[in-house]
Amino acid sequence: MVKDTRLQVKNTLNIGGKLMDLSEPKVMGIINITPDSFFSGSRVNTNHEILKQAEKMLTEGADFLDLGAYSSRPGAQDISEAEEEARLLPAVELISKEFKQAFISIDTFRAGVAEKAIHAGSHIVNDISGGNLDPKMFETVGKLKVPYILMHMKGTPQNMQSQNHYDDMMEEMMYYFSSKIQQLKAYGVHDIIIDPGFGFAKDISQNFSLLKHMAAFEILGFPVLAGLSRKSMIWKTLNTTADEALNGTTVLNTIALQNGAAILRVHDVKAAKESISLYQTYLKAK
């Protein structure tokens, strides 16, 4: 039997007064209410499309839905807070009303958007900037008493591709997460999820190195989220496109599971759930 030698990591999340058990990996389905996200298959804009996508993902077994209205692909256009809210808040209200049991994560780096979205029916704040793009974010999350996804990124979505110089990437990221966790705890945030930020201020080689050493983040004591789905590290390596990157995504998601991922953030829920099922069965084999 394969021996599980992983460190003790917090394996529960308090989401709206309900405890979610992360001892078996979970899946977060991506819903982009944007016209320009890098994978066209994830974009939805009408109420019908939003509800249809949410229903499909929940039926396929998504444990969370991650809603974003600000595209963070490299070089994406900046939009105002008002425009982000106008796209996002109606979608949150729509899904939370139609699917009352669904756990909704909000992909935003703006504290004001996060607060309004939580009040509109969402449950988790997913911040690509780790609080760097809005100094009020940590205080706001502490006040809201919701889980927080802490991602590593340098710069902004508009310039992050030029911010990928590191003397020692893993050492720098470990310091980043350690200091951010201390700050979050000071604001009363205790349900934290670590996101290494694949593709954010990292080139293809750095992304693969990060995946190879991802288990190192377990020393921080919090669950790790892997967001690899259909990213350019896959399709550029395979000389293909994001539309054709599902098989590559499944391979890298499986490696991420082997390296301790507690949550897979994906465009394709069914494939991710199957990866988890097979991996869990493999672990239990004698």
What integer is the mean pLDDT of 86-110?
Answer: 96
Q: Which of helix, strand or coil describes residue 179?
A: helix
What integer is the mean pLDDT of 236-250?
Answer: 96
Candidates 56, 71, 81, 66; CA nearest to 122 is 66
From the candidates 26, 230, 265, 273, give the one annotated as an active-site residue.
265
Using the predicted structure, report yes or no on whether residue 286 has a pLDDT greater than 80. yes
- Model pLDDT for residues 32-83, shown as the tens digit of each residue: 997 755 555 555 778 899 999 999 999 999 999 999 988 777 666 788 999 9
From the candidates 26, 116, 230, 231, give the one annotated as an active-site residue.
231
What integer is the mean pLDDT of 235-251?
Answer: 97
Domain 12-284 CATH superfamily: Dihydropteroate synthase-like (3.20.20.20)
Is 265 among the catalytic positions?
yes
More confident residue, 2 or 64: 64
Q: Hey, where are the domains in the chain?
A: 12-284
pLDDT for position 1: 42
In this prediction the pTM is 0.93
DSSP calls for 49-111:
HHHHHHHHHHHTT-SEEEEE-S--STTPPP--HHHHHHHHHHHHHHHHHH-TT--EEEE-S-H
Using the predicted structure, report yes or no on whether residue 84 has a pLDDT greater than 70. yes
Judge contact between 98 and 54, C-beta under 8 A: yes
Sign of dihedral through CA atoms 130, 127, 201, 172?
positive
104 DSSP β-pair partners: 65
